Structure 1
Amino acid sequence: MTFFLLPNNTTAQAHGVPKISIKDAGYTENQIRDMVAAKIEDFFPGLKTISTEFTSWQDSTRRLDILAIDTESNLWVMEFKRDNDAAHAELQAIRYAAMLSVCDFGNLVEAGFKYRTKLGQTITSEEWEVELLKFLGASNAADVELSEIPRMVLISSQFNKEITTTVLWLNEMFGSTEKGVPGMYIMCIEVGLYEMVGQRAIHFDQIIPISQAEEYQVQARAKALDGVKKQAKAKRARTVAILESAGLLTVGSQIVVVEGRLKALNVTSTQDRQATFAGEGRFTWAGDGQTYESLNALTGALHSKYGQTMGTIQATQSWRLASSGLTLAEQADQLAAVGNGAVTAIGA
């Protein structure tokens, strides 16, 4: 972004104001960091600084530039880099976010009190805890449930293409698909300093994500995810249909959970490992004797019994015919490939 100076408040002699890097202006990362931490609500409305140089890790001495929190109990990781020193900043921020995912309210009280004591503030640990609870809208520590996915902010005079490409991809692949639902969130902010009439001005420019497009991007990701789910559902239906058409899956055919899923779920019952095909896409599970309308529903019941969620696991990759070492998906893919080859040969 370019700033223009208007001498004598007229446009006739307007001229651009050169941007100065943090380094060329003679400032250090720590100076910019401390300025932001002290006035964080001016730079990032709705946030409260917990600490600078946060080090409350187990088995690590790394220092997080700024740890902050918002009123929705989302933790914020902020990393500052001077000029082109921002290489691998996104990986560093992700590392900190992962380490913070197990942080609890007590850690925030302790870190925040140490930070304020270091600044010379006359505040007790109890007073700081009350202040933090009030900010979060909670009456006691038990009411505070911190988000498991901290948000990340990278701040530098300049970002190279490698970082911006990586951040855009991470936000797109792992970002929230619904407003209010947690997802990966990485913000990139470029800092510019400008000399104007004997004074310096500092400007923070959010380049990723584009602030005006954030809500649209969430909706776009939700639409894309819905499309993927529909494709996966259609593929599951085709898998069963292909195996039926080939005569490999008939009423009474037995299927079993593949070895990898048995270990992942720690399935202990022999009955829970087995199911039989009941026709019309339905399967009867030996584990409870119930007939499920689809293989996906059956697999969901299996996961639920062992205290796990399916996530993105494909049901057709979790089962195989008792007489085969291939998953249902692998067998269907082989049959489809043979079918396509036959069509090609005939067409030739």
Structure 2
Amino acid sequence: MDHLFTVDGYSATPVSPTTLATEGLLERQHLQEWVIAHPQVLGESVLVITSEFDRWADTDGVPARDRLDVLGLDATGRLVVVELKRGIADRDVHLQAITYAALVSRFDLDTLAQAHREFRKGRGENLELDTCRQRLLDHVDGDWSPELLQRPRQVIIAADFPKQVTHTVVWLSEMNLDIDLIQVGLWKVKDQLIAGFTKVYPTPEVEEFTLAPARIEAKAAAQKLEERSRAQNAVHVIVGAGLLPDGALLRLTPRHGVTEGIREDILAWVGEDRSRASVTWSNNTAKPLTWQADGKPYTPTGLANHIFTSVTGRKADGIQGTTWWDIDTAHVPDTVDPDEWRALAATHLAGLAKQLNGTSKDWTGLHALLNAVPAGRWTTYGDVAAVVNSHAVPVGTHLATCGQCPNAWRVLNAAGRVSPGFRWTDPTRTDSPADVLATEGVRFEGGVAAQEARLTLHELRGMAGG
């Protein structure tokens, strides 16, 4: 960020940059803590495993003195090695990062779980080793891959980088070694310090046009990483899109990570107690599933692992639990249109996340669009969702619970009928949306609105400025 201003109407006043050293801020006590508290500066969905890690040993068992600033794990299952410098980076800082990446590439799940346990203990949180192990497994969106652990991503954060570093990092990236350079800046606005983190390499253009082709040609582990790095954590995607209302039921269908024989054993075990096959959804990114068999909350993978162990007596490893839970379309939530809900039949959580990737539940655009729908015309949940980059189910749920949505009665289901989940803001109203639409000139035959009054998707996009 080259220029920063404070703005007061037409007046813009430059803000002078400062440095961490000038302000008495330290690398370990301050910069490192900022990164630990806000790991999003390292990339999407990074879990901090440990910091200040120095329990290395050489081949003779003699401890090494190197200290890794921060070690993280991203949602693809890849380690993130972080090197911090509060000032200008040393000319060989990339060599330090590569050394740490080589050391952690030998770590396995148990080593990482132990490191995470000690890290959390140092911060006042006493966790069992199995809990730490499960936390790491749950964070990964997909199966746990030892091959990916051998290919850590490196992140170097500094106030600036000498040309020796930037030139070398560009070349290393072209040779299929991933190193990100992030510049930390500091400004003082009156008496308030403002810190900013800017990724200076690789830029999105470099990643897409320079690095991607080389990685496609790399070995199978790199190809697997490229495919999975585009995926976001399924639970976060679904909660972010608002697709599943609280209380929605899901059914067990064991898939990923089990053989056909184990799958049959699980289904037989479920047949002994049908409550084992059902969970209730809540929009909680930590543990969204409540198992009806014991009433306890779980992550999708955590519960799949628990069921696997209960049936086989073995510890699960690498199950993608989001593929195990299907929408139970036999039970329709009150706020959802039944036709739209039935369209989700046989869809599991991972599949939903793939459909919804990139959507959100910011309804500002929806409200503006509905406000533009004229009297005497109607549209559908699906068409509205397509325009505002959502899905018919969360749109319907929002309209049923919003209380402030304009012209909500002009939105019908795909068949042109009033959704059973429709609710007036005023609970004393006894008329139906069909009654109101009829007064606006929309004809109904057998409860179905006339198609000539329906807005086309093209017309809707035009109302939204698209």
**What is the TM-score with the length of structure 2 in the denominator?**
0.43
- Output one character per residue of 1:239-298: Cα deviation in whole Å (capped at 9) or x when no partner: xxxxxxxxxxxxxxxxxxxxxxxxxxxxxxxxxxxxxxxxxxxxxxxxxxxxxxxxxxxx
Task: Tell me if structure 2 keeps the 8 A contact 1:22–1:193.
Answer: yes
**What residue number does 2:114 align with?**
110
After TM superposition, list the pairs within 5 Å mapping 1:185-204 onto structure 2: 185-204=178-197
CA distance in 2, matches of 1:4, 1:85: 23
Which 4+ residue blocks in structure 1 deviate beyond 4 angstroms?
A: 222-225
Structure 2 gap segments, 5+ residues each: 59-63, 219-466
CA distance in 1, matches of 2:99, 2:18: 30
C-alpha displacement at 1:4, in angstroms?
Answer: 3.2
C-alpha displacement at 1:224, in angstroms?
Answer: 9.9
- 1:158 alignment partner AA: D
Q: Which entry has the higher C-alpha Rg, 1 or 2?
A: 1
CA distance in 2, matches of 1:133, 1:224: 28
Call closer, same or farther: CA 1:222–1:124 in 2, change over 3 Å: closer
CA distance in 2, matches of 1:6, 1:23: 23
**What residue number does 1:344 align with?**
none
C-alpha displacement at 1:136, in angstroms?
Answer: 1.6
Deviates more, 1:16-25 or 1:159-168: 16-25
Would you say how many aligned residue pairs link Structure 1 and Structure 2? Answer: 211
Call closer, same or farther: CA 1:68–1:193 in 2, change over 3 Å: same
Task: Tell me if structure 1 keeps the 8 A contact 2:76–2:142.
Answer: no
- 2:110 alignment partner AA: G
RMSD: 2.3
Call closer, same or farther: CA 1:131–1:61 in 2, change over 3 Å: same
Q: Does 1:218 align with 2:211?
A: yes
C-alpha displacement at 1:127, in angstroms?
Answer: 1.8
C-alpha displacement at 1:26, in angstroms?
Answer: 1.4
Aligned counterpart for 2:12 among listed residues 14, 20, 23:
14
Once the two structures are aligned, what percentage of the paired residues are identical?
28
- 1:157 alignment partner AA: A
**What residue number does 1:170 align with?**
172
C-alpha displacement at 1:98, in angstroms?
Answer: 1.1
Secondary structure of the residue that 1:154 maps to in structure 2? strand
Q: Which has the larger helix fraction? A: 1
Secondary structure of the residue that 1:166 maps to in structure 2? helix
Call closer, same or farther: CA 1:208–1:111 in 2, change over 3 Å: same
Task: Tell me if structure 2 keeps the 8 A contact 1:86–1:156.
Answer: no
- 1:21 alignment partner AA: T
Task: Tell me if structure 2 keeps the 8 A contact 1:41–1:48.
Answer: no
**What residue number does 2:57 align with?**
58
Q: Does 1:39 align with 2:33?
A: no
- 1:193 alignment partner AA: L
CA distance in 2, matches of 1:201, 1:5: 12
CA distance in 2, matches of 1:39, 1:4: 22
Task: Tell me if structure 2 keeps the 8 A contact 1:192–1:204.
Answer: yes
**What residue number does 1:147 align with?**
149
Deviates more, 1:28-37 or 1:78-87: 78-87
**What residue number does 2:23 align with?**
25
CA distance in 1, matches of 2:78, 2:153: 7
**What residue number does 2:102 align with?**
98
Secondary structure of the residue that 1:14 maps to in structure 2? strand
Secondary structure of the residue that 2:188 maps to in structure 1? strand
- 1:28 alignment partner AA: L
Secondary structure of the residue that 1:131 maps to in structure 2? helix
CA distance in 1, matches of 2:6, 2:48: 37
**What residue number does 1:49 align with?**
48
Aligned counterpart for 2:71 among listed residues 53, 67, 70:
67
Task: Tell me if structure 2 keeps the 8 A contact 1:53–1:63.
Answer: yes
CA distance in 2, matches of 1:87, 1:39: 27
Task: Tell me if structure 2 keeps the 8 A contact 1:188–1:208.
Answer: yes
Task: Tell me if structure 2 keeps the 8 A contact 1:56–1:107.
Answer: no
